[in-house]
Amino acid sequence: MWLALINLIGGPIVSGLISAYKAHLTATTTDNQTAADLAGKQVAAQTLEVQAQYNLRAAQIGHPFEPEKLGFYLVLSYMTKCVLWDTMLGLGTTGPLRGDIAVWCGLIITFYYGKRIAVDVANIIRR
């Protein structure tokens, strides 16, 4: 019963660890012990590979408080206020952006989406 529960919760890594441990316990000759040790090393390598893939994914996504994202959050909140609050709900009016602020908002939006597009195209070309 416990084995079925651990297999359900832990997946292939935990079941691999359990089978490697069982093989280690039942090993009686040098060949069996070597096979058990290799099975344990293989499971450890798979665990490290899964961890490395997770770290790569986290590095590609980045941190939510990077400067480029903070600037985008500000522009997004302004656009949300204008579209949702002013236009859709009709609960207020916001004057148009003028001068340097309008230029900066345009640059932030262009940079954020342009960077994402450039990264995606580079990833496609690299494959």
Last residue of a domain, one of 22, 45, 60: 60
Task: Provide the pLDDT for residue 111.
Answer: 84
Pair 54, 76 in one domain: no
* Residue 125 pLDDT exceeds 90: yes
Which of the listed residues 60, 78, 105 is the one where a domain comes to its end?
60
- Say yes or no: 42 and 81 in one domain: no
Q: Is there a single domain that holds both residue 18 and residue 67?
A: no
For residue 112, give the nearest of 74, 85, 56, 78 by alpha carbon.
Answer: 74
pTM listed for this prediction: 0.42
In this structure, the answer to whether residues 50 and 88 fall within a common structural domain is no
Contact 9, 17 (CB under 8 A): no
Distances in Å between the Cα of 115 and the Cα atoms of 65, 89, 103, 106, 120 are 17, 33, 18, 14, 9
At 11, is the pLDDT very low, low, confident or very high (cuts 50, 70, 90)? low
Number of domains in the chain: 2
Instruction: For residue 55, give the amino acid letter.
Output: N
pLDDT of residue 124: 92
Domain with 52 in it? 2-60
Is a pLDDT exceeding 90 seen at residue 35?
no
72 and 40 housed in the same domain: no
pLDDT at 2: 54
Judgement on whether residues 53 and 70 belong to the same structural domain of the protein: no
